[in-house]
Amino acid sequence: MSANIIYSNAENFKKDVLERDQPVILDFYSEECSPCAALAPIFDKLAEKYGNKMRFVKILRQQNRELAASLGVKSSPTVLFFHKGTEVGARFNGYIKKPQLRLEIEKILGITPESVKLSKVSADVLILGGGPAGLSAAIYASRARQNTVVIDEGVPGGQAATTFHIANYPGTPGTVTGKQLMENMLEQAKSFGTRVDDLKEVMEVNLRGDLKTITTEDTIYSAPVVIIATGSESRRLPVEREADFRGMGVHYCATCDGSNYQDQKVIVVGGGNSAVEEAVFLTKFASHVTIVHQFDNFQASKIAQEEALANPKIDVVWNSEPRGVVGETHLSALVVENVKTGQMSEIPVNGVFVYIGMQPRTTLVEGQVKTNQWGYIEVDEDLKTNIPGVFAAGDVRSKLIRQVVTATSDGAIAGINAERYLASLHTREYAQASK
């Protein structure tokens, strides 16, 4: 628990919230709530930064339902702001992003963008992204005594950290949770001196010139070397109102949100390894899982297919694609179309988990590094991009195989070649100085 956060209740609500002279940000949270768990590190980070100007308070909604109801709070998490006994500002609920809260906090505190003084951090190597590739690159670069900084827009670990179990990573006892594996990598990188700045809002990346810069909401980082390891993200469900139901029935991580559907019916969209494996995982919670797939056969491995098709809790709707979502505040059905017959049908369901492929997270570097037709960064065998001093590693780069072990391999290659590139710069500088 952060020392900057007050854990309150209905009895102390007046004292902790209404009678404060400072503005108050109040988080009504619940236990076993995925959006609440996602918000927790964001709330902690903001409390560290603004705790001297604003009170950060959390109240467990499950134990204070009457208070929550009296304030019109119907779901978790819900974040409210108060000042001198009156609610001010906007309300936020569901999956809440850090920029939303930061901007509202600064608005209430009267902090303007012009008044924010950006701190400056210089390094030898900047790594954008803290997943398997980024952390592996950090381990190698830091161990080579390079001043290394990892900048992550989320919590370090990447997609691997949300994987229920990883059964094919060398050196592990058969299986290991993705979370544990990534925690090990993070601690190893830190042990060699890596600085990890997480939950950063990256505003601009400038890769041109000898000194590259990455600008966040409060810091300008600079270094002669940048390793891009931003990974990829799930393709969104291609239907109208998808964003309205994101976190409220539409999900992209079974490990994160599957437990919310105990004894309920869910759908998995997709037919590759991720879709089929996560469908099996969801049977730990759901009463029934329906896989909706656009083809008449899976693209998953034979082992994954056999396990799914043998599970009595799983059935498959073949040759079908999603066409719409139904519901008011929470999804209640998925509309699908049979692509061969054109017949539309509505499947009553409590939740939909989407696994229809990935897309690279390259928005921040578009127009600077060379990418292929799908947006993945093109590199040579040393993981060098078209820009000197810029490397790309992991799922963000163009390659055929995307596994945790290939991401860590990429990270090692990038980290080693980053150190060699820096050494070549020093050699050139020495040679010029000697003339």
**C-alpha distances in Å from residue 300, one per residue of 272, 297, 321:** 4, 9, 18
Based on the fold, state whether residues 32 and 98 are members of the same structural domain. Answer: yes
pLDDT at position 32 is 77
The letter for the amino acid at 357 is G
Query: What is the gyration radius of the CA atoms in the chain, in angstroms?
Result: 24
pLDDT score of 412 = 98
- 257 given a catalytic annotation: yes
pLDDT tens-place string over residues 144-196: 999 999 999 999 998 888 777 787 889 888 788 888 999 999 999 999 999 99
Distance from C-alpha of 124 to C-alpha of 386, rounded to nearest angstrom = 19
- Residue 163 shares a structural domain with residue 111: no
pLDDT band at 121 (very low <50, low <70, confident <90, very high): very high
Catalytic residue, candidates 16, 124, 257, 410: 257
Q: Annotated catalytic, 36?
A: no
State whether 328 and 367 are in the same domain: no
Query: Residue 24 has what pLDDT?
Result: 97
- Asked if residue 431 has pLDDT above 80, the reply is no
Domain match, 71 and 94 both: yes
- Indicate which CATH number applies to the domain containing 290: 3.50.50.60
Helix (H) or strand (E) holding 391: strand 390-392
Residue 391 and residue 374 in one domain: yes
Residue 31, Cα to own-chain centre: how many angstroms?
20
More confident of the two residues 422 and 256: 422
Same domain assignment for residues 207 and 265: no
Kindly state whether residues 208 and 314 are assigned to the same domain.
no
Segments forming the whole domain that contains residue 428:
119-233+359-434
How many domains are there within the chain? 3
Same domain assignment for residues 102 and 132: no
Cα separation, 111 vs 104, in Å, equals 10
Write down which residue in 57, 82, 115 finishes a domain. 115
Q: Which of 325, 356, 387 is the last residue of a domain?
A: 356
Task: State the average pLDDT over residues 262-285.
Answer: 95
75: confidence class by pLDDT, cuts 50, 70, 90 = confident
- One domain for residues 127 and 110: no
* Count of H-run helices and E-run strands, the chain: 11, 24
- 1 pLDDT above the threshold of 60: no
The model carries a pTM of 0.84
State whether residue 233 is helix, strand or coil. Answer: strand
Q: Cα–Cα–Cα angle for 238, 244, 250, nearest 5°? A: 60
Q: What is the pLDDT of residue 95?
A: 82
The CATH number of residue 58's host domain is: 3.40.30.10
pLDDT score at 435: 60
- Residue 256 annotated in active site: yes
pLDDT at 338: 97
Other C-beta atoms closer than 10 Å to the C-beta of 313 total 15
d(CA 167, CA 403): 11
Considering Cα of 409, then 41, then 94, then 33, what sign does the dihedral take?
A: positive
**Catalytic member of 36, 256, 395, 410:** 256
Q: Which of 108-117, 253-262, 283-292, 395-404 holds the top average pLDDT?
A: 283-292
Give the pLDDT band (50/70/90) at residue 416. Answer: very high
Question: End of a domain among 115, 142, 176?
Answer: 115
* Model confidence band, residue 70 (pLDDT cutoffs 50, 70, 90): very high
C-alpha–C-alpha distance, residues 162 and 177, integer Å? 8
Burial class (CB in 10 A: 0-12, 13-18, 19+), 59: buried
Could you tell me if 270 and 419 lie in one domain? no
- Do 397 and 376 form a contact (C-beta atoms < 8 A)? yes
Mean pLDDT of the chain: 93
User: Which of the four pLDDT bands, split at 50, 70 and 90, describes residue 434?
Assistant: low
Residues 413 and 330 in one domain: no
Catalytic residue among 124, 253, 395, 410: 253
State whether 217 and 258 are in the same domain. no
Q: How far apart are CA 409 and CA 82, in angstroms?
A: 49
Q: Is the pLDDT of residue 263 over 80?
A: yes
Mean of the pLDDT values across residues 343-354? 96
For residue 430, the model assigns a pLDDT of 59
| Cβ atoms < 10 Å from Cβ of 93 | 18
Residue 378, class by beta-carbon neighbours within 10 Å (0-12 exposed, 13-18 middle, 19+ buried)?
Answer: middle
- pLDDT, residue 2, reads 67
Give tens-digit pLDDT for 193-251. Answer: 999 999 999 999 999 999 999 999 999 999 999 999 999 988 999 999 898 888 789 99
